[in-house]
Chains A and B, each alone.
Chain A
Amino acid sequence: TQLLEQSPQFLSIQEGENLTVYCNSSSVFSSLQWYRQEPGEGPVLLVTVVTGGEVKKLKRLTFQFGDARKDSSLHITAAQPGDTGLYLCAGAETSYDKVIFGPGTSLSVIP
Chain B
Amino acid sequence: DAGVTQSPTHLIKTRGQQVTLRCSPKSGHDTVSWYQQALGQGPQFIFQYYEEEERQRGNFPDRFSGHQFPNYSSELNVNALLLGDSALYLCASSLRTGGSYGYTFGSGTRLTVV
Interface size on B, residues (CB 8 A): 27
A31's partner among B43, B90, B100 (CB-CB below 8 A) is B100
- In the assembled complex, A43 has its CB within 8 A of some CB on chain B: yes
Known A-B contacts A33-B102, A41-B108, A44-B105; A99 and B45 likewise in contact (beta carbons under 8 Å): yes
User: Nearest residue in B to A6 (C-beta to C-beta)?
Assistant: B42
Tell me whether A98 and B33 are in contact (CB under 8 A).
yes
CB distance from B87 to the nearest CB of A (A): 13
Dominant SS among interface residues on chain A:
loop
Cα–Cα, bound, A106→B39 (Å): 12
User: Nearest residue in A to B43 (C-beta to C-beta)?
Assistant: A101
Residues of B within 8 A of A (CB): 4, 33, 35, 40-45, 48, 56, 58, 90, 92, 97-108, 110
